[in-house]
Chain A
Amino acid sequence: MTSAKTMFEKVWSAHEVAPQTAETPAVIFIDLHLTHEVTSPQAFTVLRERGLKVRRPDLTLATMDHSTPTRTEQVFGGAPISIESAAKQIQQLEINCAEFGVELLGLQDSRRGIVHIIGPELGITQPGKTIVCGDSHTSTHGAFGALAFGIGTTEVGHVLATQCLLQKKPKTCAIEVRGRLPAGVTPKDLILAIIGKVGVSGGTGYVFEYRGEALRALSMDQRMTICNMSIEAGARAGMIAPDETTYEYLKNTPRAPKGKAWDDALAYWKTLPSDDGATFDKVVEIDASSLEPMVTYGTNPGMVVSVTGRIPDHRGDAVFDAAMKYMGLSPGQPIAEAPVNVVFVGSCTNGRLVDLRAAAQVLSGRKIAKGVQMLVVPGSQEVKRLAEAEGLADVFKAAGAEWRESGCSMCLGMNGDTVNKGEYSVSTSNRNFEGRQGIGARTLLASPETAAASAVLGRVADPRQFLRA
């Protein structure tokens, strides 16, 4: 028996209010509850019906991102929000937060943005915390060494009322990444390759810990891209051990601990990484150094191929056949021949500053192809400001792209930013499900670099041709 523990086990056991028994799940305390307009209204209704309060408003933060408009005139100019039910939902969140005393970063707040982007920006996403949100991409926050996962609306109600959740302990899976990513190959390509390898349900029941040299070399923005898509392999959460990069990032954020509290926090954070010799229930290995830019060709994020490759031939497999029919693509076809109508750069996967820089680097001095619509949607208002200050917005506009206010936008098309039926979209988001970006929309997931290169050529393109130093 060894006493070496994984990072997950350390965070889990530090939050057990009551341990799991044969009859009951564990009661787990939640350090940070993020909430948004789409998955919270019915939870607040339950509180109201049962006469309950929000137990810890100080650990709860609300924002609006999913159904919010991205057109400046609708956000700031008083123009009506195009979708009436979305406007109502936004208003309902304002009412709920006011009534229950929850801090809300509302539509016009300068700190507003996609919920998984603003938590880290504000510095409330921290190592060792348990973080939940009624959103499956809560896994993003695991990049800081937090245990962060998505919950349903009933559970949103549980956390609002008790600051706790009933949870069964998941298993652990180490994703060992060997070697370094080659030039022009990004964290998005790495996570797509991992999902391709593990499969879209291979992580079910597990918490991933991404490990290895390649991850140590990444910035926090980049680590978030990886943890973000853990759920696309079915995993409950994805974690990366905190290190100097993590501390450096947090140090300058507005709500990170200061002074003595910082020193104490730092000392604790340094105890979190998995001990040498800690064992995981499962181990997956992947070699980063042999990867190429990746693009999805099908209707789940595991259907992925390198940008220089051809669509594989799995005819006879029902999932594959249905995907080919939906996508209008054929087995054996080079993916780089796939046409492009729309390019979307944004989302909680790739809507941070480094992502916009990467796309701008490809677009700088170039124009997007005729007939292609390109939408660049910063992940938060903070990202928007920084990108404008750096001149990235000018690069996008000069190239012919649209520059919007922050939000989820075309990642799920709830706010009316959608792709037309049958059109091809190269998107930096995380899901290529049927209809995700609009009824009949055909989504190819890729990195910001690949998305920008595809916008320039009007077909799926290898970004490395534009990135030579």
Chain B
Amino acid sequence: MTITTIRSRTVVMSSTNIDTDQIVPARFLTTTSKEGLGNALFADWRYDAGGRPRPEFVLNKPEAQGCRILVAGRNIGCGSSREHAPWALVDYGFQAVISNEIADIFKNNSLKNGLLPIVVDDATHAWLLQNPGVEVEVDLRASTLTVPGRPAVGFPIDPFARVCLMNGVDELGFLLSKNGEIEQYEARRRA
């Protein structure tokens, strides 16, 4: 899969520190595949005790349907290293997560699954939180985010991850291509 631009309205979840236990609660982790995890996404916020969607939860609102960009409060993805979190977001249909701070492991895991973790400055973040549902455009080539009526803002992204995402290059393939160097390293260590 390759990504160059994403254009979508945003869904806003303004809570700070949305941890991966909220994104996918632990009881859904007994799966041995990745499929279907979208149903478990934010399960404890999304469904009531009887498993019915809670109408007041943001993802259950009509205007949130089809949105592919999640704007989250500061420090989304903290906690457990479970890759089930980005798997669930992707399976649900998200392609990017925007915040002013994104936890390390979650950021890494997201990049490996075609989910763009976009860290923006505080002012842009605050504006996005206050304007849910706006149509934004992410340009991965230029590493910019454009929101209506504001100048485009750049976001940092690891250059290697960017190339991988844009060209569909796979990191495992890259590592496997380093076999010669790995063998040399192992030989050095044995010496």
Interface residues of A (CB under 8 A from B): 17-18, 22-25, 27, 29, 38-39, 41-42, 45-46, 50, 52, 55, 66-67, 83, 85-86, 88-89, 92, 134-136, 150-155, 157-158, 161-164, 166, 168, 200-201, 204-205, 231, 234, 236, 300, 318-319, 322, 412-414, 431, 433-436, 439
- Which single residue of chain A is at the shortest CB-CB distance from B113? A154
Question: Closest Cβ of chain B: how far from A93's Cβ, in Å?
Answer: 9
User: Beyond A39-B81, A136-B105, A236-B105: 12 further Cβ-contacts under 8 Å?
Assistant: A22-B159, A23-B163, A29-B182, A38-B82, A41-B31, A42-B32, A152-B81, A158-B175, A201-B17, A435-B25, A439-B25, A439-B44
Q: Are A162 and B79 touching (Cβ within 8 A)? A: no
The 9 closest A-B pairs by CB, nearest first: A85-B30, A152-B109, A41-B32, A152-B83, A150-B81, A136-B81, A201-B75, A153-B83, A154-B112
Q: Are B172 and A89 touching (Cβ within 8 A)? A: no
Given known A17-B182, A27-B181, A300-B19, contact A41–B29 (CB-CB < 8 A): no
B78 proximal to A (CB < 8 A): yes
User: In the complex, A150 Cα to B175 Cα: how many Å?
Assistant: 19
Kindly list chain A residues whose C-beta atoms are within 8 Å of the C-beta of B10: none
Q: Are B34 and A42 touching (Cβ within 8 A)? A: yes
Kindly list chain A residues whose C-beta atoms are within 8 Å of the C-beta of B79: 136, 231, 431, 433
User: In the complex, A27 Cα to B176 Cα: how many Å?
Assistant: 11
Kindly list chain B residues whose C-beta atoms are within 8 Å of the C-beta of A166: 160, 171, 174-175
- Which single residue of chain B is at the shortest CB-CB distance from A233? B78
User: In the complex, A24 Cα to B182 Cα: how many Å?
Assistant: 16
Given known A166-B160, A205-B104, A234-B78, contact A436–B26 (CB-CB < 8 A): yes
Kindly list chain B residues whose C-beta atoms are within 8 Å of the C-beta of A83: 30
Interface CB pairs A-B, < 8 A, 29: A17-B178, A17-B185, A22-B159, A25-B158, A25-B160, A45-B33, A55-B182, A134-B81, A135-B81, A136-B79, A151-B81, A153-B83, A153-B109, A154-B112, A158-B171, A158-B172, A158-B175, A161-B175, A162-B182, A200-B78, A204-B75, A204-B101, A414-B30, A433-B19, A435-B25, A435-B44, A436-B21, A439-B44, A439-B49
B64 proximal to A (CB < 8 A): no
Beta-carbon contacts under 8 Å, B61-85 to A: 73-75, 78-83
Given known A92-B32, A433-B22, contact A162–B81 (CB-CB < 8 A): no
User: In the complex, A92 Cα to B28 Cα: how many Å?
Assistant: 16
Q: Are A414 and B103 touching (Cβ within 8 A)? A: no
Kindly list chain A residues whose C-beta atoms are within 8 Å of the C-beta of B186: 29
| Candidates B16, B158, B159; contact of A319 at CB < 8 Å | B16
User: In the complex, A161 Cα to B19 Cα: how many Å?
Assistant: 29
User: In the complex, A24 Cα to B80 Cα: how many Å?
Assistant: 26
Q: Chain B, interface size: which category?
A: 35 or more
User: In the complex, A41 Cα to B83 Cα: how many Å?
Assistant: 12
Q: Are A88 and B30 touching (Cβ within 8 A)? A: yes
User: In the complex, A137 Cα to B108 Cα: how many Å?
Assistant: 16
Question: Closest Cβ of chain B: how far from A319's Cβ, in Å?
Answer: 5
Q: Are B101 and A29 touching (Cβ within 8 A)? A: no
User: In the complex, A42 Cα to B35 Cα: how many Å?
Assistant: 10
Q: Are B81 and A161 touching (Cβ within 8 A)? A: no
Interface residues of B (CB under 8 A from A): 14-17, 19, 21-22, 25-27, 29-34, 44, 49, 73-75, 78-83, 86, 101, 103-105, 108-109, 112-113, 158-160, 163, 171-172, 174-176, 178-179, 181-182, 185-186, 189
- Which single residue of chain B is at the shortest CB-CB distance from A85? B30
Q: Are B21 and A162 touching (Cβ within 8 A)? A: no
Q: Are B181 and A318 touching (Cβ within 8 A)? A: no
Q: Are A86 and B26 touching (Cβ within 8 A)? A: no
Kindly list chain A residues whose C-beta atoms are within 8 Å of the C-beta of B32: 41-42, 45, 88-89, 92
Kindly list chain B residues whose C-beta atoms are within 8 Å of the C-beta of A414: 26-27, 29-30
Kindly list chain A residues whose C-beta atoms are within 8 Å of the C-beta of B113: 154
Kindly list chain A residues whose C-beta atoms are within 8 Å of the C-beta of B82: 38-39, 152
| Candidates A52, A88, A150, A168; contact of B158 at CB < 8 Å | A168
Q: Which of B22, B78, B160 has the most CB of A within 10 A?
A: B78
Kindly list chain B residues whose C-beta atoms are within 8 Å of the C-beta of A17: 178, 181-182, 185
Kindly list chain B residues whose C-beta atoms are within 8 Å of the C-beta of A433: 19, 21-22, 79
